[in-house]
Structure 1
Amino acid sequence: MPNPNTGSDQAILDLIAYFAKRDSLLLPRLLQPPKKSAKRRRFSDSDLLRPIEAARILKVRPKTLANWRVSGVGPKFTRLGGAIVYRYSELQAFIAKGSRASTSDKGDAQ
């Protein structure tokens, strides 16, 4: 009896077999629980943080933090030699200064 799976039918079956095999290899990786991220470090008020760490705490990009330094609207920073650092307490104060009770609340600005 002749094989009914000839030509393009065989190519389709080959593709199905290929993707089934590929997906079965990927599936175990997809079902694994996500890798645990490193534990967040707790900072004390006097800790000095690099701009990357400060940006992560403020949930902004480091470039945004740099722009804020230039325009004077961001948290207070210190220059140690050529390095820019932020005190953790200054980041907390900056966040607290931005707290508002409502959208019409002007906060500390008078």
Structure 2
Amino acid sequence: MQSNDDDDDGEGLSPVDAAEVLDLHPTTLANWRTYRRGPAYRKARNGRVFYRRTDLDEWLAKQGAHAREPF
């Protein structure tokens, strides 16, 4: 789920760092963004994708044991 916020300056976790937190491959997060799955992400004004740690933690809590299941 994307969240566009024009005030965001892109501070947060990169997709690579977010994938590490979630114990996933960065390509998995990229695919999930394409299919509107996975944790909320944001885009900075410059187009850079980033994740907030709180969004990752909330998403993980909601997923439980199903967090890493494929489509």
Structure 1, unaligned runs of 5 or more: 1-46, 104-110
Question: What RMSD in Å do the two structures reach over aligned CA positions?
Answer: 1.7
Compute the displacement of 1:69 (Å). 0.5
Structure 2 unmatched runs, 5+: 1-10, 67-71
Distance 1:88 1:50 in 2: 10
- Aligned residue pairs: how many? 55
Matches within 5 A, 1:65-80: 65-80=29-44
Give me the whole-angstrom Cα distance separating, in 2, the residues matched to 1:72 and 1:97: 16
> After TM superposition, what 4+ stretches of structure 1 lie above 6 angstroms from structure 2?
none
Is 1:85 matched with 2:50?
yes
* Greater C-alpha Rg: 1
- Counterpart residue number, 2:17: 53
Identical pairs, percent:
36
Taking structure 2 as the reference length, what is the TM-score of the superposition? Answer: 0.71
